[in-house]
Amino acid sequence: MSGESSKFSRQDAHTAEWVLGLIFACLAAGIAATGYFYYQNYEKSYRAAIERQLTAIAELKVSELVQWRHERLGDGSILFQNAPLTALVRRLLEKPEDMDSKQQLQVWFGKYQADNRYDEIRLLDAQGVSRLSLPAGLPAVSTSVARNVSEGTRLGRVTLQDLYRSERDQQVRMGVMVPVFDEQNPNRLLATFFLRIDPATYLYPMIQRWPTPSSTAETLLVRREGNEVVFLNELRFQKNTALTLRESLDRTLLPAAQAALGKEGIIEGTDYRGVPVVAALRAIPDSPWFLVARMDAAEVYAPLREQLRFVVIVIGALLFGAGAGITLFWRQQSVRFYRERAAATETIRETNEYLENLFNYANAPIIVWDLQFKISRFNHAFESLTGRKVGEVIGQSLDILFPPALVDSSMALIRKTTGGERWKTVEISILHRDGSFRTVLWSSAAVFLADGKTSVATIAQGQDITERKQAEAALRESEKRFRSLAVATSQIIWYTDAQGQVCGPMPSFQAYTGQSDE
């Protein structure tokens, strides 16, 4: 009984542990899945927000650059096909000493230089030689500018001289080329107005200005030259890069190279420093320029890392809470379980103690033997019956309990119990230590395992009928003597039972009456 209870307790405890473990696993999986999907959705929306931000900034910069270029061309269009200016240019070219034409042209030049949009203004003849300048006395123009004088003749319109490095001061410059054609011969180029621009005054600051606070963001302006991409502006993290820094277009991870190859949109790559970046690529309409608006990936994804850290902390806290709650519940259940188990154990102990006392102190002699007919239990009444103590007989063979002459017959009866035979009233004599023996009436039963089929022992309870057997023998002897007396006497005697029926032979009565026993 105790073994079965312990077995069931262990099974119940194991089942409870398994169920609680399954509950915790389900909670952990649910919490982790919720955190994962939350972070995935947050990351998706955050990336979309960053892409929209970079796209908006790139579009803003493109529109600013387009507007700036249109304004510069607009400045040139005022001078283009201007009849009074063309007449002044012809007079100056034909009569260089004509001070009136020179002064009027200088007035025009002064209007353009007043707002610091142009640091030099020149009048170049058809060969690119400077004939008038503001400020006065400037040296010859750069060869790249002189080469492009004829470009106005070919295109027949105002053009922008793209960014170049001045041979005089090695500074980056650009300009507006305004061709002046002969009115009598529209195909004949008289001269060219050249309005030189210092990009450091407005263009570069406009490009480098970022509309939101950022420690790594910058805008790059690039153009393609052969199989290279040329950086046109000064960079935030590297100096002296304008028209100096060049990279191969084969660097496919370089956003500037991708832009120069005509790719547009949001990409991830590594910039000129070899640092991972997220960039928006755009082409500048009606120009050889490409724009790259980029931020370091570390800055872009810093909030994502913070959010991930927050999600991990929350998930960890929830898992810890779930684990702590289940552990607390398990401990409470365990305390309850062990209390109940202790109570059950105490009950079993008391029951076993009661049964042990009931067995040991029963009035009737009780004995238990195993399948090898070895004595395993022996109560006090049996001690009185045999005159032997428990310690003397436990583990001994049953045959020590029987009179020598009755050992074989007694063991033959006992062996039948191993087959499951059950005694109801079997009379077997028991040998006392002093050599006498007692007549005992036995009843027995098999002891089975929990399966109810496997016999492991036999228990037998006896009733000492020695005195009864002796009384019966004395009664029989008395009856025998009485009958002998009744037969031998000359007196007429008969005797009946309680119902008046004649019992036994009556010789004297028969002789007297002549009647037979019948």
- Domain ranges within the chain, ordered by starting residue: 2-74+302-341, 80-203, 210-300, 363-464, 477-513
Q: Do domains 80-203 and 363-464 have the same CATH topology?
A: yes
Residue 6: pLDDT over 60: no
Both tokens of 153, joined, read 């003749």
Q: For strand 265-270 and strand 246-248, is the pairing parallel, antiparallel, or unpaired? A: unpaired
d(CA 208, CA 293): 10
363-464 placed in CATH 3.30.450.20: yes
- Please say whether the beta carbons of 277 and 269 come within 8 A: yes
Confidence of residue 164 (pLDDT cuts 50, 70, 90): very high
End-to-end, the C-alpha distance of the chain in Å comes to 65
Highest mean pLDDT among 36-40, 236-240, 482-486: 236-240
pLDDT in tens, 425-463: 788 888 888 888 888 888 878 888 877 778 788 888 888
Whether residue 145 contacts residue 194, with contact meaning beta carbons closer than 8 Å, is answered with yes
Give φ, ψ of 377 to 5 degrees. -140, 155
- Report how far Cα 421 is from the mean position of its chain's Cα atoms: 64
Judge whether residue 489 has pLDDT over 90.
no
* Torsion from C-alpha of 194, 195, 201, 207, nearest 10 degrees: -80
**Whole-number percent of the chain with pLDDT over 70:** 91
Q: What is the mean pLDDT of residues 120-146?
A: 88
Q: What is the model's pLDDT at position 451?
A: 79
What is the dotted CATH code of the domain comprising 210-300?
Answer: 3.30.450
Q: Using alpha carbons only, give the angle 255, 259, 265 rounded to the nearest 5 degrees.
A: 85
CA distance 49 to 38: 16
Tokens of 36: 């994962």
d(CA 497, CA 492): 17
Rounded CA separation 348/346 (Å)? 5
Task: Read off the amino acid at residue 226.
Answer: G
Q: Assess whether pLDDT exceeds 70 at residue 3.
A: no
User: Buried (b) or exposed (e) across 233-257, using 16+ Cβ within 10 A?
Assistant: bbbbeeeebbbebebebeeeebbbb
| d(C-alpha 259, C-alpha 56), whole Å | 17
Please give the structure tokens belonging to residue 262.
């005509």
pLDDT digits (tens, 9 = 90+) for 194-204: 999 999 999 99
Over residues 345-395, the pLDDT tens digits come to 888 888 778 877 777 777 888 888 888 888 888 888 888 888 888 888 888
Mean pLDDT of 178-200: 89
Residue 178 · residue 193 · CB < 8 Å: yes
Q: Is 308 exposed, middle or buried (0-12, 13-18, 19+ CB in 10 A)?
A: middle
| 458 touches 446 (CB < 8 A) | yes
The topology (CATH level 3) of 80-203 is: Beta-Lactamase (3.30.450)
